[in-house]
Amino acid sequence: MTDTFTESDRTDGIEPDMADRIENTPAGATPAAAATTPMNMIQALNSAIDVKMTEDANVLSFGEDAGYFGGVFRVTDQLQQKHGLTRSFDAPISECGIVAAAIGMGAYGLRPVVEIQFADYIYPAYDQIVSEVAKLRYRSGGQFSAPIVVRSPYGGGIFGGQTHSQSPESLFTHVAGLKVVIPSNPHDAKGLLISAIEDDDPVIFFEPKRLYNGPFDGWHQKPVSPWKAQPEAQVPTGKYSIPLGEAKVVREGSDVTILCYGTMVWVSLAGAEHAGVDAEVIDLRTLVPLDIATIEASVKKTGRCVVVHEAPKTSGYGAELSALVQERCFYHLEAPVTRVTGWDTPYPHAFEWEYFPGPERVADALKSVMAGGR
Alpha-carbon span 190 to 243, nearest angstrom: 11
Alpha-carbon span 88 to 284, nearest angstrom: 31
Q: Among the residues of the chain, which ranges form H helices?
A: 7-12, 41-55, 79-83, 95-107, 126-127, 136-139, 169-173, 186-198, 263-275, 292-302, 317-329, 352-355, 359-370
Q: Which residues contact 63 (CB under 8 A, 6 or more apart)?
A: 71, 76, 90, 91, 98, 114, 115, 116, 117, 151
Alpha-carbon span 102 to 119, nearest angstrom: 17
Concerning whether 164 is annotated as a catalytic residue, the answer is yes
Which class for 237: exposed (0-12), middle (13-18), buried (19 or more C-beta within 10 A)? Answer: middle
* Catalytically annotated residue among 164, 187, 274, 309: 164
Alpha-carbon span 99 to 112, nearest angstrom: 9
Note whether 156 and 165 are within 8 A (CB).
Answer: yes
Bond from prior residue into 289 cis (ω within 30 degrees of 0): yes
Neighbour-count burial for 160-191, b at 16+ CB within 10 Å, e otherwise = beeebbbbbbbbbbebebbbbbbbbbbbbbbb
Active site residues: 164
